[in-house]
Chains A and B, each alone.
Chain A
Amino acid sequence: MDNKFISPYDHHAPAGAENWKDLYPYYMVFQDNLKESENAKFFFCDSQHWPNVFKPFDAITVEFAVKCLSQYNTRQWLIPPANGIDFKIHNGYCYMSPVAVAPELIAERVPQFLERAGFYFQNWNDLLDNWHKKVKATIDEMEAVTFEPLPEVIPMDWVTGGVGLDPTYHLIHNYTKMIDLCYKTWMYHFEFLNLGYAAYLDFFGFCKEAFPGIPDLSIAKMVQGIDSELFRPDDELRKLAKRAVELGVADTLINHDLTAALAALAETEAGQQWIAAWEGAKYPWFNFTVGNGFYSTDKYWIEHLEIPFGYVQDYARKVLAGDSIDRPTEAIAAERERITEEYRDSLFDEEAQAAFDGKLGLARVVFPYVENHNFYIEHWAMSVFWRKMRDLANVLTGAGFFADPNDMFYFRREEIQNLLFDYGRGWAMGVPAIGPSYLPGEVARRKAIVDALSTAPPKPAFNEPPTVVTEPFTIMLWGITTESVQGWLTTAEVTNKLKGMAASPGTVEGVARVINNADELGLLQEGEILVTRITAPSWAPVFGKIRATVTDIGGMMSHAAIVCREYGLPAVTGTGSASTTIKTGDLIRVNGAQGEVTILQAA
Chain B
Amino acid sequence: MKYTLFFKEAQPEDYPLLGGKGASLASMSAANLPVPVGFCVTTHAYSAFLHASDLFDTIMAQVDGIDCADVAQLDQKSAEIRALLLDKPLPAEVESVIRGSYRQLCDLTGLPGTLPVAVRSSATAEDLPDASFAGQQDTYLWVVGEDEVIEHVRRCWASLYTARAINYRRNQNIPENDVLMSVVVQKMVNARTAGVAMTLNPTNGDRSKIVIDASWGLGEAVVSGEVTPDNFLVDKVMLEIIKADIQHKAIEHVPDRVNRRVLTRDIEPDRAAQPCLTDDEVKAVCRIAKTIEKHYRCPQDIEWALDADLPDGENFTLLQSRPETVWTQKKATTQATTKTGMEGILNTLMNPLAARQ
Tell me the A residues contacting B by CB distance below 8 Å.
79-82, 106, 110, 113-114, 117-118, 121, 198-199, 201-202, 204-206, 208-215, 217-218, 338-339, 342-343, 345-349, 351-352, 354-355, 358-359, 362, 468-472, 475, 481-482, 505, 593
Find chain B residues with CB under 8 A from A215 CB.
235, 238, 240, 242
**8 A/B residue pairs, CB under 8 Å, sorted by A:** A80-B349, A117-B342, A211-B206, A213-B209, A218-B238, A338-B237, A355-B338, A359-B340
Find chain B residues with CB under 8 A from A593 CB.
240-241
B353 contacts chain A at the CB level, 8 A cutoff: yes
The answer for the CA separation of A121 and B348 in the assembled complex, in Å, is 15
Q: Mark B195-216, 1 if CB is under 8 A from A, else 0.
A: 0000001001111110000000
Asked if residues B350 and A106 are in contact (CB atoms below 8 Å), the reply is yes
Q: How far is the CB of B241 from chain A (nearest CB, A)?
A: 8
B295 contacts chain A at the CB level, 8 A cutoff: no
The answer for the CA separation of A470 and B357 in the assembled complex, in Å, is 11
Q: How far is the CB of B278 from chain A (nearest CB, A)?
A: 13
Asked if residues A470 and B237 are in contact (CB atoms below 8 Å), the reply is no
Residue in B205, B237, B241, B341 whose beta carbon sits within 8 Å of that of A218 in the complex: B237
Asked if residues A352 and B352 are in contact (CB atoms below 8 Å), the reply is no
Find chain A residues with CB under 8 A from B241 CB.
593
B71 contacts chain A at the CB level, 8 A cutoff: no
Find chain B residues with CB under 8 A from A348 CB.
205, 207, 332
Asked if residues B354 and A198 are in contact (CB atoms below 8 Å), the reply is no
The answer for the CA separation of A215 and B236 in the assembled complex, in Å, is 11
B261 contacts chain A at the CB level, 8 A cutoff: no
Residue in B235, B342, B349, B350 whose beta carbon sits within 8 Å of that of A214 in the complex: B235
Residue in A113, A198, A205, A351 whose beta carbon sits within 8 Å of that of B337 in the complex: A351
The answer for the CA separation of A523 and B343 in the assembled complex, in Å, is 51
Asked if residues B206 and A355 are in contact (CB atoms below 8 Å), the reply is no
B100 contacts chain A at the CB level, 8 A cutoff: no
Asked if residues A355 and B348 are in contact (CB atoms below 8 Å), the reply is no
Asked if residues A351 and B338 are in contact (CB atoms below 8 Å), the reply is yes
Residue in A82, A199, A352, A362 whose beta carbon sits within 8 Å of that of B338 in the complex: A352
Asked if residues A352 and B332 are in contact (CB atoms below 8 Å), the reply is yes
Q: How far is the CB of A123 from chain B (nearest CB, A)?
A: 13
Asked if residues B338 and A212 are in contact (CB atoms below 8 Å), the reply is no
In the complex with contacts A212-B206, A213-B209, A342-B340 CB distance below 8 A:
no
In the complex with contacts A114-B342, A213-B242, A204-B353 CB distance below 8 A:
yes
In the complex with contacts A117-B345, A359-B344, A208-B238 CB distance below 8 A:
no
Find chain B residues with CB under 8 A from A211 CB.
206, 208-209, 235
Asked if residues B355 and A468 are in contact (CB atoms below 8 Å), the reply is yes
Asked if residues B208 and A201 are in contact (CB atoms below 8 Å), the reply is no
Closest to A482 in B: B354
Asked if residues A206 and B345 are in contact (CB atoms below 8 Å), the reply is no
Find chain B residues with CB under 8 A from A210 CB.
206, 208
Residue in A121, A343, A358, A472 whose beta carbon sits within 8 Å of that of B352 in the complex: A472
B346 contacts chain A at the CB level, 8 A cutoff: yes
Find chain A residues with CB under 8 A from B354 CB.
468-470, 475, 481-482
Find chain A residues with CB under 8 A from B353 CB.
201, 204-205, 208-209, 475
Closest to B201 in A: A212
Asked if residues B208 and A82 are in contact (CB atoms below 8 Å), the reply is no
Closest to A483 in B: B354
Q: Mark B232-256, 1 if CB is under 8 A from A, else 0.
A: 0101111011110000000000000
Q: Mark B133-149, 1 if CB is under 8 A from A, else 0.
A: 00000000000000000
Interface size on B, residues (CB 8 A): 34
Q: How far is the CB of A537 from chain B (nearest CB, A)?
A: 24
| Secondary structure call for the B interface | mixed
Find chain B residues with CB under 8 A from A472 CB.
348-349, 352
Asked if residues B345 and A198 are in contact (CB atoms below 8 Å), the reply is yes
Asked if residues B349 and A121 are in contact (CB atoms below 8 Å), the reply is no
Asked if residues A470 and B236 are in contact (CB atoms below 8 Å), the reply is no
Q: How far is the CB of A219 from chain B (nearest CB, A)?
A: 11
The answer for the CA separation of A199 and B346 in the assembled complex, in Å, is 10
Q: How far is the CB of A500 from chain B (nearest CB, A)?
A: 16
The answer for the CA separation of A198 and B348 in the assembled complex, in Å, is 8
Residue in B207, B240, B243 whose beta carbon sits within 8 Å of that of A505 in the complex: B240
Q: How far is the CB of A100 from chain B (nearest CB, A)?
A: 12
Q: How far is the CB of B174 from chain A (nearest CB, A)?
A: 34
In the complex with contacts A358-B340, A470-B354, A202-B206 CB distance below 8 A:
no
The answer for the CA separation of A339 and B240 in the assembled complex, in Å, is 13
The answer for the CA separation of A215 and B349 in the assembled complex, in Å, is 21
The answer for the CA separation of A346 and B204 in the assembled complex, in Å, is 13
Find chain A residues with CB under 8 A from B345 CB.
117, 121, 198-199, 202
Asked if residues B342 and A343 are in contact (CB atoms below 8 Å), the reply is no
Asked if residues A470 and B355 are in contact (CB atoms below 8 Å), the reply is yes
Asked if residues B208 and A214 are in contact (CB atoms below 8 Å), the reply is yes
Find chain B residues with CB under 8 A from A121 CB.
342, 345
Residue in A113, A202, A481 whose beta carbon sits within 8 Å of that of B348 in the complex: A202
Q: A121-B342, A354-B340 are in contact. List 9 more A-B contacts (CB 8 A).
A: A80-B349, A110-B346, A210-B208, A211-B209, A214-B235, A339-B238, A347-B207, A348-B207, A362-B341
Q: How far is the CB of B299 from chain A (nearest CB, A)?
A: 10
Q: How far is the CB of A288 from chain B (nearest CB, A)?
A: 32
Q: How far is the CB of A329 from chain B (nearest CB, A)?
A: 20
Closest to A469 in B: B354
Find chain A residues with CB under 8 A from B346 CB.
80, 110, 113-114
The answer for the CA separation of A359 and B343 in the assembled complex, in Å, is 11
The answer for the CA separation of A481 and B354 in the assembled complex, in Å, is 7
Find chain A residues with CB under 8 A from B332 CB.
348-349, 352
The answer for the CA separation of A217 and B340 in the assembled complex, in Å, is 23
The answer for the CA separation of A481 and B356 in the assembled complex, in Å, is 13
The answer for the CA separation of A347 and B333 in the assembled complex, in Å, is 12
The answer for the CA separation of A512 and B122 in the assembled complex, in Å, is 60
In the complex with contacts A211-B209, A342-B237, A470-B342 CB distance below 8 A:
no
Q: How far is the CB of A318 from chain B (nearest CB, A)?
A: 29
The answer for the CA separation of A482 and B209 in the assembled complex, in Å, is 25
Closest to A118 in B: B342
Find chain A residues with CB under 8 A from B204 CB.
212
Find chain A residues with CB under 8 A from B207 CB.
345-348
Q: How far is the CB of B113 from chain A (nearest CB, A)?
A: 47
Q: How far is the CB of B318 from chain A (nearest CB, A)?
A: 21
In the complex with contacts A351-B338, A593-B240, A475-B352 CB distance below 8 A:
yes
The answer for the CA separation of A121 and B206 in the assembled complex, in Å, is 31
Asked if residues A218 and B235 are in contact (CB atoms below 8 Å), the reply is yes
The answer for the CA separation of A121 and B344 in the assembled complex, in Å, is 13
